[in-house]
Structures are given as structure tokens and as C-alpha cells.
Structure 1
């Protein structure tokens, strides 16, 4: 199994188009509400909770949006690879490459909350193998590393 996984990252309207295509290919509908939720999620630089997204979509629509409706949509997005859930923060990030399925390793800054994701199939593959060796099936590695990003850690040298 190769180490790093390479793919094409999308941004802006190309990301929205790729997400719509991936959702439709999965047999789901791209509704106005789903489009609004994805756009709000994709516009965020940091992970967002369902409440954050509900508030943002509600402001854009001019009416309150229930967080439980947003949770259902975000769960659909995670199942169909349009978004990733940051387990330790109960927050979500848009997947910048929705047509590509793989495990992500998230690097989360303790100071500013920024999230970077890296792909290393050799690491997540080893986790899958170890779990399967212990009798687990349908393993879905969730790897989150916490520390300081390069911006927040720069002043701490010495």
C-alpha cells in the first residue's frame, strides 16, 4: 500500500459542483437546503458545528433553520463523502475532494482551532489491519492529532 494519497482538491464553485455531482451519483437529491448547508460549510475556514451552520443558513435565508435538520444533512454529507466529522470537536469540515474515498488524518491546532488534513494510506492501513486482527470488521479509522499549527507554534521556539 502506498504512503501518501494524491487527489485533486476543489475550492469555490468547483467544490460545490463536485459535491453536487457526488451526491447525485450516490442516488441522493441536491436540494436547495442541502446546497445552502454545503455552501455554508465550505465557506468556513475552521470546523463548524451544526448550530454554526444552522445560524449561517438561517441568516442567509432570513428565517430560523433548525439545527436537527442541519445535523441530518451533515450526516448525509459524511455518509456520501462530502464532509468529514471532527470527532473530538463535534464539528464538520467540507471534503475538498468529494469524489475520492480515503481515510483522513486531521491535525488540529489547540490554539486557533485550524484543521489540516493529510492522507497517509500506510498509516490508516496499518490501523485497519490491526483492528481486523482483533476481530473488528467495517473499520473506519478516525485519526486526530492535536498540537500547534505553524502559525501558533512559531513564537514558542526556545
Structure 2
């Protein structure tokens, strides 16, 4: 039986504020560059690569921002639960509820590139249990399903 609870889905300024609070709780600072990268990431409709984000931040700031700097900040965001990495396409999405930690499942449309994020702890709990049964210590399950979204079907 899946455990469900209500997520407060943040948007816009509320999402940036929630991300700032979550990052500071993890002991990190919310710098201007981190804020700029988070705001750009949150503005994408689809998963964004570090290069997409670097280009958008560079345009907004009027000076070049290196993709490797963006990667470092994205790694920090993933570690602090502000962003999720869609592993199979090497891209990132902002976490709309950074104050809540779950293993997530991505439904990735191979046609349009949209990635829908689902929380289903019952599935990831089973994956973790199977890993432990095999003598493996799971850190974080990565579950992605590729196919076609309802809009493309």
C-alpha cells in the first residue's frame, strides 16, 4: 500500500524562498549565483541540462557562466533536495517540494522530452528491500520509465 501525504507544491517566488530555506538548513549559503541558477532551472518546462542553464544564466547576467560551475551548483542542489537529476537524459528539474524527501520516479517522454515526477514510496521501498536481500546497501534508487506522455500519445 503506497503511503500518500499532501505535498505543498511551491511555485515562483514561494519556490525560490522554500529552496533558500532548505539550502540554508543544510548548512549552505544562498548566494546570488545559486539563486540565479535555481530560478532559471525552475523556469524550464522540461528537464534542463547544465549547458541549457549556463546559457540562460549567462544571457540574464550579461556575462558567460561556465557549465562546470553550474554542474557544481546543481550537484549541491541535488544533495540538498532542491533539484532532481533525470539520470538517463543528464538533465535536472527543480523540486517543487524541497521540504519533503522521497525517492522519485520519472516518466520521461521520448517524443517531447517532458519528465513527470511521481513520488511512490511503496515502489522504491520494494527496490531497496530487494537490494538489501541481495546483500547490497542501497543509497538511492533511480527509477525512470521511458515512453510517450498523454499529450504525445
TM-score by length of 1: 0.94
Contact 1:112 1:152 in 2 (8 A): yes
> Aligned residue for 2:70?
70
The answer to whether 1:89 aligns with 2:89 is yes
Aligned residues: 153
Contact 1:5 1:119 in 2 (8 A): no
Contact 2:131 2:138 in 1 (8 A): no
> Aligned residue for 2:107?
107
Contact 1:5 1:120 in 2 (8 A): no
> Aligned residue for 2:14?
14
> Aligned residue for 1:45?
45
Q: Please give the alpha-carbon distance, in whole angstroms, between the structure 2 residues aligned to 1:126 and 1:151.
A: 30
Residue by residue over 1:14-67, the C-alpha shift from the partner in whole angstroms, topping out at 9 and shown as x without a partner, is 000000000001100000000000000000000000000000000000000000
Q: CA deviation at 1:3?
A: 3.7
Give 5+ residue unaligned stretches, structure 1. Answer: 154-158
Q: Please give the alpha-carbon distance, in whole angstroms, between the structure 1 residues aligned to 2:91 and 2:49.
A: 4
**Which moves more between the two structures, 135-144 or 103-112?**
135-144
Contact 1:106 1:144 in 2 (8 A): yes
Q: Please give the alpha-carbon distance, in whole angstroms, between the structure 1 residues aligned to 2:57 and 2:100.
A: 27
Question: CA RMSD of the aligned region, Å?
Answer: 1.1
Give 5+ residue unaligned stretches, structure 2. Answer: none
Q: Please give the alpha-carbon distance, in whole angstroms, between the structure 1 residues aligned to 2:59 and 2:20.
A: 22
* Structure 1 ranges of 4+ moved more than 3 A: 1-6
> Aligned residue for 2:59?
59
Q: CA deviation at 1:139?
A: 2.6
Residue by residue over 1:64-102, the C-alpha shift from the partner in whole angstroms, topping out at 9 and shown as x without a partner, is 000000000000000000000000000000000001011
TM-score by length of 2: 0.97
Q: CA deviation at 1:142?
A: 0.6
Q: CA deviation at 1:138?
A: 4.0
